[in-house]
């Protein structure tokens, strides 16, 4: 038993897709979430920048004494997964659990992957799928406008803008005849209805946030580190930009009022102070 919180981070709102599932399947767990809203999006940035941001995000969560770190971000998992694997606490990104779920779901052996430009450029999902079954065909497409649409509240299924954008991005994957589509960026499940409408009802959508939460539960179970407080867990949220917009979106998405639990953190200042402490300890 370990009652310390689970640490979850993303560049913005997307990681809430993992948090929502954690609240469903592990309601006793305490969660500390960091959304780097001041620096979103990550997916259009260079490898070096993504590595730097990911290291700072992980250090921030570690400062909250978390028992597990979840990179609920396809981009970080794809580009900076090695940083997570080197942490002194258990870690999971989204790529491996999501790839596994897609291999189990496909019937015709054709899997589509959508993600940020950095994720698709890394080839992480393709590699993870082929490590499980090299006979599967993988079709990849980056969708760089999806994250800004979600962050700007343009994700409701009756909005024609995301629909038009989705039609354009998803056309090659429809053409390829994929029967399973990985939403490889944790922001994308917020566009789920639009994506499903465009792909058609026969295509199975795999939600990277949800699969990762399930994997986290397995990890904690194996480590005998599930929370056994007997009470509903607490969630604290930290963001690197204004708390207001995040509070509203998170309350809506998680279907609970989280307004009082959202705080601002200057992540750059934190990172500088953390680097000084680490230096003086060395």
User: CB 27 → ligand DGL: shortest distance, Å?
Assistant: 24
Active-site positions read: 73, 185
Rank residues 30 and 119 by Cβ distance to ligand DGL and give the closer one: 119
Backbone angles phi, psi at 67, to 5 degrees: -95, -15
* Position among 6, 7, 8, 10 found at the interface with ligand DGL (CB under 6 A): 10
Give the β-pairing of 110-115 and 91-92.
unpaired
Asked whether position 240 contacts ligand DGL by CB under 6 A, the answer is no
CB distance 36 to 53 below 8 Å: yes
x/- contact string, 52-81, with ligand DGL (CB under 6 A)? ---------------------xxx------
Count Cα atoms within 13 angstroms, Cβ side, for 263. 8
Element of type H or E holding 277: helix 267-281
Can you say how many angstroms the Cα of residue 43 is from the centroid of all Cα atoms in its chain?
12
* Window 128-147: residues binding ligand DGL (CB under 6 A): 147
* Position among 20, 126, 187, 210 found at the interface with ligand DGL (CB under 6 A): 187
Rank residues 94 and 173 by Cβ distance to ligand DGL and give the closer one: 94
User: CB 41 → ligand DGL: shortest distance, Å?
Assistant: 3
Given strand 6-10, what is the order of strands in its sheet? 91-92, 68-71, 6-10, 31-35, 235-239, 262-264
- Go through the chain and tell me how many residues it has: 282
Among 195, 217, 219, smallest CA distance to 206 is for 195
Rank residues 12 and 81 by Cβ distance to ligand DGL and give the closer one: 12
* Window 19-58: residues binding ligand DGL (CB under 6 A): 40-43
Start-to-end Cα distance in the chain: 32
Q: Which residue ranges make up the site for ligand DGL (CB under 6 A)?
A: 10-12, 14, 40-43, 73-75, 116, 119, 147, 185-187
């Amino acid at each position: 038993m370990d009652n310390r919180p689970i640490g979850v981070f993303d560049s913005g709102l997307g990681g809430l897709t993992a948090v929502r599932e954690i609240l469903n399947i592990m309601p006793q767990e305490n969660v500390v979430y960091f959304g780097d809203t001041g620096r979103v999006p990550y997916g259009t940035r260079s490898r070096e920048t993504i590595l730097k941001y990911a290291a700072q995000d992980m250090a921030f969560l570690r400062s909250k004494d978390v028992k597990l770190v979840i990179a609920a971000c396809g981009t970080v998992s794809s580009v900076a997964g090695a940083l997570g694997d080197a942490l002194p606490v258990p870690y999971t990104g989204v790529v491996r659990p999501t790839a596994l779920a897609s291999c189990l779901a496909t019937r015709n052996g054709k899997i589509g992957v959508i993600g940020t430009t950095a994720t698709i450029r890394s080839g992480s999902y393709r590699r993870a799928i082929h490590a499980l079954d090299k006979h599967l065909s993988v079709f990849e497409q980056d969708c760089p406008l999806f994250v800004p649409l979600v962050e700007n509240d343009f994700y409701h299924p009756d909005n024609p803008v995301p629909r038009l954008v989705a039609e354009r991005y998803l056309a090659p994957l429809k053409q390829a005849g994929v029967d399973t589509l990985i939403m490889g960026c944790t922001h994308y499940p917020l566009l789920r209805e639009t994506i499903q409408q465009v792909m058609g009802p026969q295509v199975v959508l795999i939600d990277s946030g949800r699969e990762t939460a399930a994997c986290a539960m397995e990890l904690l179970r194996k480590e005998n580190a599930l929370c056994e407080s007997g009470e509903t867990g607490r969630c604290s949220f930290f963001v690197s930009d204004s708390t207001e917009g995040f509070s509203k979106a998170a309350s809506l998405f998680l279907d609970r009022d989280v307004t009082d639990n959202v705080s601002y953190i200057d992540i750059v200042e934190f990172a500088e102070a953390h680097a000084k402490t680490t230096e003086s300890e060395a």
